[in-house]
């Protein structure tokens, strides 16, 4: 999780990765520059909060080999190095502005996160409910841990307001290609429904493959889907007015949910190997559908609002996650299926 967060911070800080140029000044000139005149309280808070998980996860990642003051020093020093370096690189991006205040807030966030990590590490790793749930219900080993992180990143993809419900893998976002051909409304509704249903079943089956035989599989799957819908609603609550938070619940999304849930409940009773195979097939099919779907004018207008101002970096980050997630999930499913096959052969 720490390594994943480092990559996300790098992407969010340097997005949109275009227009590189030499400004004719030192990359670290910002350290002695005067305070930017346009700073707002929102900017300061966001820069602190953006690095707070960095310090927290850095302390957790070092445990149990490094703890206490040494872990705090690592989190603070590495966070400062990352913040100062990325701020320097922003000097070469015309859409970004290198600021010593931003860097200082980043370092402060890493420090606060490290303190929080030191205070909570023992509880989290020895007594917390998440640890008990992980130990009791999830398969042991690093591969299961990676699957849990992958599902957490899936929840983050639901923050992208421009995507279809549960839709991901739109390569046109990454390569700036035009949307698919226009279809009749009923065809678009069908594509949206198939996309939502396929991804719902695939994500639920992936969750089921991470659980021990005695775990509450149905509750875990439905809980994950419910949490995904909550995150989706929260994203629209941030973007739009209160009465528009459920505008993502289109006819296609409703049909997809209604069709996908019973299919998921039935597929959960299949053997683990078949669940993995079905999840992979559905992910591939849903990704193809996402790339064939025409542009949705409502989602396009929502994205225009989301891309403005303070949310530029966050929008770029959620779009990247949305583009890459199904391919990472496919790779993960193939890896655990191959390991399961090797184990069966040896047995």
Amino acid 73: pLDDT: 94
Instruction: Give the residue-averaged pLDDT of 66-86.
Output: 92
Q: SS3 for 56?
A: helix
- Nearest-CA neighbor of 220 among 157, 144, 311? 144
Question: Which tops the pLDDT comparison, 199 or 98?
Answer: 199
Predicted pLDDT of residue 168: 84
224 Cβ neighbours under 8 A, 6+ residues apart: 151, 155, 203, 204, 207
**Confidence band of 346 (pLDDT split at 50, 70, 90):** very low
Residues 160-183 pLDDT 10s: 777 788 888 888 766 655 555 555
Mean pLDDT for the stretch of residues 104-126:
88
269-310 pLDDT tens trace? 999 889 999 999 999 999 988 887 776 655 555 555 444 444
The whole-number pLDDT of residue 244 equals 64
- Residue 113 confidence class, pLDDT cut points 50, 70, 90: very high
C-beta neighbour count of 278 within 10 angstroms: 17
The percentage of residues in the chain with a pLDDT greater than 70, rounded to a whole number, is: 83
- Give the pair of three-digit tokens for residue 120: 């909570």
The reported pTM is: 0.69
Q: Is the pLDDT of residue 92 over 50?
A: yes
* End-to-end alpha carbon distance in the chain: 32
Question: Is residue 325 predicted with pLDDT exceeding 50?
Answer: yes
Q: 231: closest CA among 148, 147, 165?
A: 165
Mean pLDDT, range 242-271, rounded to an integer: 85
* Burial class of residue 134, CB neighbours in 10 A (0-12, 13-18, 19+): middle
Q: Would you say 102 and 88 are in contact if contact means Cβ atoms under 8 Å apart?
A: no
Which stretch, 120-129, 154-163, 248-257, 310-319, has highest mean pLDDT?
248-257
**Sign of the CA dihedral 283, 287, 293, 295?**
positive
pLDDT single digits (tens) 22-61: 877 888 888 887 777 777 777 788 889 889 999 999 999 8
Mean pLDDT score of the chain: 81
pLDDT category, 226, cuts 50, 70, 90?
very high
pLDDT level of residue 82 (50, 70, 90 thresholds): very high
Please state the rounded mean pLDDT for residues 78-93.
90
């Amino acid at each position: 999780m720490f390594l994943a967060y480092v990559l996300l911070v790098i992407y969010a800080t340097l997005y949109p990765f275009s227009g590189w140029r030499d400004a004719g000044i030192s990359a670290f000139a910002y350290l002695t520059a005067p305070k930017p005149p346009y700073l707002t309280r929102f900017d300061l808070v966001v820069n602190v909060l953006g690095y707070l998980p960095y310090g927290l996860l850095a302390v957790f990642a070092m445990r149990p080999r490094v703890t206490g003051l040494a872990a705090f020093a690592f989190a603070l020093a590495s966070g400062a190095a990352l913040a100062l370096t990325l701020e320097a690189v922003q000097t070469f991006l015309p859409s970004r502005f290198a600021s010593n205040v931003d860097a200082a807030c980043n370092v402060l966030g890493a420090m606060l996160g490290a303190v929080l990590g030191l205070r909570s590490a023992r509880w989290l790793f020895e007594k917390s409910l998440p640890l008990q749930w992980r130990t009791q219900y999830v398969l042991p080993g690093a591969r299961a841990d990676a699957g849990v992180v992958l599902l957490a990143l899936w929840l983050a993809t639901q923050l992208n307001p421009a995507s279809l419900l549960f839709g991901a893998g739109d390569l046109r976002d990454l390569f700036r290609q035009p949307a698919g051909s226009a279809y009749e409304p009923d065809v678009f509704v069908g594509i949206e429904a198939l996309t939502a249903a396929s991804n719902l079943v695939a994500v639920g089956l992936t969750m089921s493959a991470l659980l021990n035989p005695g775990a509450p599989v149905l509750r875990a799957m439905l809980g994950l889907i419910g949490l995904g819908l909550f995150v989706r609603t929260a994203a629209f609550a941030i973007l739009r007015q209160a009465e528009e938070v459920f505008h993502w619940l289109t006819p296609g999304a409703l049909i997809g949910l209604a069709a996908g849930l019973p299919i998921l409940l039935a597929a959960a009773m299949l053997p683990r190997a078949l669940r993995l195979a079905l999840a992979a097939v559905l992910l591939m099919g849903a990704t193809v559908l996402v790339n064939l779907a025409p542009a949705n004018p409502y989602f396009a207008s929502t994205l225009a609002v989301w891309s403005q101002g303070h949310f530029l970096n966050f929008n770029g980050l959620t779009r990247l996650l949305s583009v890459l997630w199904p391919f990472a999930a496919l790779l993960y499913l193939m890896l655990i299926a191959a390991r399961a096959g090797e184990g069966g052969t040896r047995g």
